[in-house]
């Protein structure tokens, strides 16, 4: 059974750096074809894909946020970490991690999400 | 503004069928067969219901089906049930920026 769980701070201040951790089970990121993505959803708004890391440690980012994001994986811990710099109130959202298909990038299994509020 | 265009809302009565459209461009919906659909109930994480335009994951009801023509993908839900009331999102791989989502459609079962 594949499960994912996000963890991180619920509140960050503007200009701070956000670090979120996705801890997963039921698959190994080192297995060929495995990928994990981060997706966010501001309150009452649509989903937005942020970043993806694959089994080869190749990384991909949404163009609009590329300069602020870093995604990394720790295969020994079954974790994927997302770092977002220079946080702004507009970044307030629920952040999800999801197992991602390597061919057509659909999100097969999602974590429960973690709400991050950016406020001073 | 989202990259893929969906109607903001649709409604239907129990037992009826509804269709939700998702319109993109040649860079996404029209350029590959990577359209997927997600169902999201209030306060819950999204759930994959259709992938690669028309494939259903194991455990998803046969009442959900997907198709595509040109730049527009569609999700059809037949035999509407009260539990289908939720938000629905389409997404597509894009050669430009990874993955793009639609703005979401709120389905009301009246």
pLDDT tens-digit series, residues B20-34: 999 999 999 999 999
Pairs of CB atoms within 8 A across A/B: 67
Q: Taking residues B65-77, what's their average pLDDT?
A: 98
A3 in contact with chain B, both atoms CB, cutoff 8 A:
no
Q: Which uninterrupted H or E stretch holds B66?
A: strand B64-69
d(CA B85, CA A118): 31
Cross-strand pairs, A35:
A54, A100
pLDDT tens-digit series, residues B51-63: 999 999 999 999 9
Residue A89 half-sphere exposure toward CB, CA atoms < 13 A: 2
A24 in contact with chain B, both atoms CB, cutoff 8 A:
no
pLDDT band of B1, cuts 50, 70, 90: low
pLDDT tens-digit series, residues A87-116: 999 999 999 999 999 888 999 999 999 999
pLDDT tens-digit series, residues A7-55: 999 999 999 999 999 999 999 999 999 999 999 999 999 999 999 999 9
pLDDT at A119: 97
- Put simply, the chain B residues between 28 and 57 with a CB less than 8 A from any chain A CB are 32-34, 36, 38, 45-48, 51-52, 57
Q: Do B99 and A110 touch (CB under 8 A)?
A: no
Question: What distance in Å separates residue B72's CA from the closest CA in chain A?
Answer: 17
d(CA A7, CA B22): 32
CA A43 to chain centre: 17
pLDDT at A22: 98
Percent of chain A clearing pLDDT 70 (strictly above):
100
Q: Do B104 and A109 touch (CB under 8 A)?
A: no
Residue A70 has pLDDT above 90, yes or no: yes
According to DSSP, residue A104 is labeled: T
């Amino acid at each position: 059974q594949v499960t994912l769980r996000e963890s991180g701070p619920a509140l960050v201040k503007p200009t701070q750096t956000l670090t979120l951790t996705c801890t997963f089970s039921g698959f190994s990121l080192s297995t060929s074809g495995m990928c994990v993505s981060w997706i966010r959803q501001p309150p009452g708004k649509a989903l937005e894909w942020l970043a993806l890391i694959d089994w080869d440690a190749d990384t991909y980012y949404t163009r609009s946020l590329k300069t602020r994001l870093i995604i990394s994986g720790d295969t020994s811990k079954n974790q994927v970490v997302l770092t977002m710099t220079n946080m702004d109130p507009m970044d307030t959202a629920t952040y999800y991690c999801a197992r991602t298909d390597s061919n057509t990038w659909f999100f097969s299994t999602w974590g429960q999400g973690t709400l991050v509020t950016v406020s001073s | 503004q989202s990259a893929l265009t969906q109607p903001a809302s649709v409604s239907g009565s129990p037992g009826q069928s509804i269709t939700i459209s998702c319109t993109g461009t040649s860079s996404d919906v029209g350029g590959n067969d990577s359209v997927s659909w997600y169902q999201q109930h209030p306060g819950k994480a999204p759930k994959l219901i259709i992938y690669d335009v028309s494939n259903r994951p194991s455990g998803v009801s046969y009442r959900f089906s997907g198709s595509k023509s040109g730049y527009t993908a569609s999700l059809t839900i037949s035999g509407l049930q009260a539990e289908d009331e939720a938000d629905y999102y389409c997404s597509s791989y894009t050669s430009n920026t990874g993955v793009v989502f639609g703005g979401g459609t709120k389905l009301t079962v009246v």
